[in-house]
Chains A and B, each alone.
Chain A
Amino acid sequence: MNHLIATLPFILFSLVVILLLTCSDPRRRQQQQKHNGHSKLGFGLSSRARKWLAWSLVLPVLPLVFSGNYAGLLMYAGAVTVIGWLVVESPASAM
């Protein structure tokens, strides 16, 4: 059970990062402006910052590997996949 609890913060971290990446996506903001006349989220990130943010998704792999939590590592990878898909699938008008 401990290894599941240890994995949960990393999954939440990936949710935050993916939300940030999705909200600051230039194409998504462009789409939103085209449909609503304005973008709900008033922030954009430079492509360099977005790249760093995307790479930060790999960071949790290190503590999971070093702590021998291989089940957590697999769960984290699966969760990133599912969260990514579900967040992007949510309509642009919602965020």
Chain B
Amino acid sequence: MSNLNEQPIRSKAKALLSLHSWSGIVLGMLLYAVIFTGTVAVVSDEVGEWSNSNLNQQMLATQDVDNVLATLAAQTDRAYLEEISAYEDHRQNLVFFFHTHKQNPSGVMDEYGVQYKVNGQGEIVQQREGFGSDIYAQDDSYALSRFLVSIHTELHLPAPWGLILTGILGLAMLVAAVSGFMMHRHLFTDLFTIRKQRDGKPLKRDSHTVAGTWSIPFAILLAFTGSFFSFATAFGLPAMAVVAFGGDQEAMMQTLVGEQAHKSEAPQDSASINGMLADAIGNQSAVPTFIAISHWGTESASLTAFFMPTEGEVGFAQRVYDATNGEFVEYKPLVGTVPSAGSAIMSLIYPIHFGTFAGLMSKIIWISLGVASCYVTITGLQLYAFRNEKQATGWQWFSRMCVWGFTGLPLCSLSSALGFFVSGALQSNQSLWTPVSFLLAAAMVSLITLIIRSVRQLQLILLVANGALCLALPVIRYLTSGFGWIQAIEQGNVALMFIDAVLLLCGVWCFYRVYASNQAQESDHTATEAVASEHVGTLSGAAK
């Protein structure tokens, strides 16, 4: 009877193992790319500040926004006064984007208008006209962080294919996590032990299982929220526009954002922006990340101040002011005009996915979760390569591919940072050279992978290159900006010191790995020689 019961359980476990393995093997390398760059994306703001050696000056709180806005509005086409967004960039400028909304050449609703960058002295340092997405894509101050985040969100594939692919990868991660959880029958008994192989190294299967088991809840959470982002943008919103709004994207956005379709454009003096900002800052005990001013100078004028999560909260906060009299109106829900469960959930998805709800501390924890997920992907694919290599020698290409991807991607990402700094120092186009450096490094890594025959040697070379770049980047950043640690400590620039320190630690770790690998090989070699000489001794004794 028990045999009869065990049969279906075994076949179910086998089916789950197949599902788990194939979802990992087919999409594992791309999944690793998305998880690795996602881990970097958690600190994209800090990477932005670090790459520009900048400290946020809280300019929305310290500058005379009213005065700058009035000067800029006077020289701007009235059509673009429909909405004005303002925020501080990574180069100590206030960015004002006077815009209206219209479809871009890809058929997607976009912002169109004039962007001004104004420095601390109130001087315009840059002026651009065009679609918001194009202007942002050419902004050099965000070149590095934007490039790394874009690999995570859409793998640099054209829309909507990149989003669809990352959505599928999120689902593959979800399938792998759930099937891994279901097929492991001794989940909690195996949670605390990693067995060793005969050579003393940890058993690959146990390393994979332990890391996978501990990170299951977050793997599911991050995979789900990531898939949601990808599919909502690629499918959800366009589908909703077609089904519920007859294809009218503007009407859909007005409903989602919770804005009146027809607003009065009758002129009326607006209240002081500085006053509303001071009130918002006082109430939230923080400076807004950005502000959006709608229909400025009309009787429909309003101001929305957007804040990162405050003390103990997880979701973002949006304070809305009536800009005709400067009075606070409401905390605006993210979706629609009245608070709802859907809006509450929506406002939680971004902070939970990127860990941006409690400053650097939550980001450090989220980075660690990303590293754990990378480790699960790496050990999973290595396990598969190891098992197949033992059975068939033709599978060495898989191990080679693992080294190419796992060690090559960090190297290419570091090279893009190198390209950013060098092109910046040469006054070249950083938005161009950052991705080009990544591609050049990718070509170089691929070439080396094809040329070097020994997989171990290949791994060591790539580790040394990673380590060297990790150690060199903080020095290059210092040489190109002249901004050192003493100034960073004086200014309390934690983001800059954090990224520098992480890079130095990673550099040291890479060289330690190379050293440990050489030591292990030497001891293996000595042990083999000892066994061989013992064997020779036994044979010669027997001959005598």
Which residues of chain B in 180-195 are interfacial with respect to chain A, using CB atoms and an 8 Å cutoff?
189-195
Q: Does B297 sit within 8 A of A, measured CB to CB?
A: no
Q: Is the CB of B362 within 8 A of A74?
A: yes
B211 contacts A by Cβ under 8 Å: yes
Nearest residue (CB) in A for B186 is A27
Q: Do residues B192 and A82 form an inter-chain contact, with CB atoms below 8 A?
A: no
Q: Decide: B365 and A75 in contact? CB cutoff 8 A.
A: yes
Q: Chain A residue with minimal CB distance to B190?
A: A27
A71 & B210 in contact (Cβ 8 Å cutoff): no
B311 interface residue (CB < 8 Å to A): yes
Please indicate the chain A residues that have their CB under 8 angstroms from the CB of B361 in the complex.
4, 75
Given contacts A71-B313, A88-B214, contact A78 B192 (CB under 8 A): no
> Is residue A33 within 8 Å, beta carbon to beta carbon, of the partner chain?
no
List chain A residues, Cβ under 8 A from B309: 71
Number of A positions contacting B (CB below 8 A)? 30
Contacts of A21 in B (CB 8 A): 192
* Residue pair A81, B312 in contact (C-beta under 8 Å): no
The answer to whether A85 and B192 have CB atoms under 8 Å apart is no
Which residues of B from 345 to 387 have beta carbons under 8 Å from A?
352, 355, 357-359, 361-362, 365-366, 368-369, 372, 375
B314 within 8 A of A: yes
Q: Is B217 an interface residue (CB 8 A)?
A: yes
Task: Verify if B218 is at the interface (C-beta below 8 Å from A).
Answer: yes
Expressed in whole angstroms, the Cα–Cα distance for A43 and B368 within the complex equals: 31
B211 touches A89 (CB 8 A): yes
Take A79-B365, A82-B368 as given contacts and tell me if A70 and B189 are in contact as well, using a CB distance cutoff of 8 Å. Answer: no
Determine if B128 is an interface residue (Cβ-Cβ < 8 Å): no
Q: Is the interface of A mostly helix, strand, loop or mixed?
A: helix
The residue of chain A having its C-beta at the shortest distance from the C-beta of B219 within the complex is A81
Q: What's the nearest-Cβ distance from chain B to residue A69, in Å?
A: 5
B535 at interface, CB cutoff 8 A: no
| A35 and B202 alpha carbons, distance in the complex (Å) | 12
Q: Check if B365 sits within 8 Å of A82, measured CB to CB.
A: yes
> From A67, which residue of chain B is reached at the shortest CB distance?
B312
Q: In the complex the two chains form, what is the Cα distance from A68 to B369 in whole Å? A: 24
The yes or no answer to A60 lying at the interface (CB within 8 A) is no
A94 to B359 alpha-carbon distance, docked (Å): 33
| A85-B372 contact, Cβ under 8 Å, with A3-B312, A72-B312, A75-B365 | yes
Asked if residues A88 and B210 are in contact (CB atoms below 8 Å), the reply is yes
| A-chain residues with CB within 8 Å of residue B359 when the two chains form the complex | 4
Chain A residues with CB under 8 Å of B190's CB are 27
CA distance A91 to B516 in the complex (A): 15
CB pair A85 B214 closer than 8 Å: yes
When C-beta atoms are compared, the residue in chain B nearest to A29 turns out to be: B193
CB interface residues, A 18-72, toward B, < 8 Å? 21-22, 25, 27-28, 31, 35, 67-72
A82-B313 in contact (CB<8A): no
* A78: B residues at CB distance < 8 A: 218, 355, 362, 365-366, 368-369
User: Contact: A70 with B196, CB < 8 Å?
Assistant: no
A3 to B311, CA, bound (A): 6
Q: Which residues of A contact B313 (CB under 8 A)?
A: 70-71
A92: interface (CB < 8 Å): yes
- Could you mark each residue 85-114 of chain B with 1 if its beta carbon is under 8 Å from any beta carbon of chain A, else 0? 000000000000000000000000000000
Select which of A71, A75, A88 is within 8 A of B192 by beta carbon: A88
Q: Which residues of B contact A74 (CB under 8 A)?
A: 314, 352, 357-358, 362
Chain B residues positioned under 8 Å from A72 (CB to CB): 312, 358
Contact A28–B193 (Cβ < 8 Å)? yes
1/0 contact string of B308-319 vs chain A (CB within 8 Å): 010111100000
With A4-B359, A89-B210 in contact, is A81–B193 under 8 Å at CB? no
Which B residues are CB-close (under 8 A) to A82?
214, 365, 368-369, 372
Contact A70 B369 (CB under 8 A): no
User: In the complex the two chains form, what is the Cα distance from A77 to B189 in whole Å?
Assistant: 21
- A41 vs B192: C-alpha distance in the bound complex, in angstroms? 15
B63 at the interface (CB under 8 A from A): no
Contacts of A69 in B (CB 8 A): 312
Q: A4 to B363, alpha carbons, bound, how many Å?
A: 12
Within residues 236 to 269 of chain B, which ones have a CB less than 8 A from any CB in chain A? Answer: none
Residues of chain B lying within 8 A (CB to CB) of residue A70: 312-314
Within the complex, the shortest CB–CB distance from B65 to chain A, in Å, comes to 27
A3, A85, A89 pick with most chain B CB within 10 angstroms: A85
Q: List 23 A-B pairs, Cβ < 8 Å.
A: A1-B311, A2-B311, A3-B311, A3-B358, A22-B192, A25-B193, A27-B189, A28-B192, A31-B196, A35-B196, A69-B312, A71-B358, A72-B312, A75-B365, A77-B217, A78-B218, A78-B365, A79-B365, A81-B218, A88-B192, A88-B210, A89-B207, A92-B193
A residues contacting B by CB (< 8 A) are 1-4, 21-22, 25, 27-28, 31, 35, 67-72, 74-75, 77-79, 81-82, 84-85, 88-89, 91-92
| 7 residue pairs, one from A and one from B, having the closest CB atoms | A25-B192, A78-B365, A82-B368, A85-B214, A3-B312, A27-B193, A71-B358
Extra 4 A-B pairs, beta carbons < 8 Å, given A81-B372, A91-B202: A4-B359, A27-B189, A27-B192, A82-B368
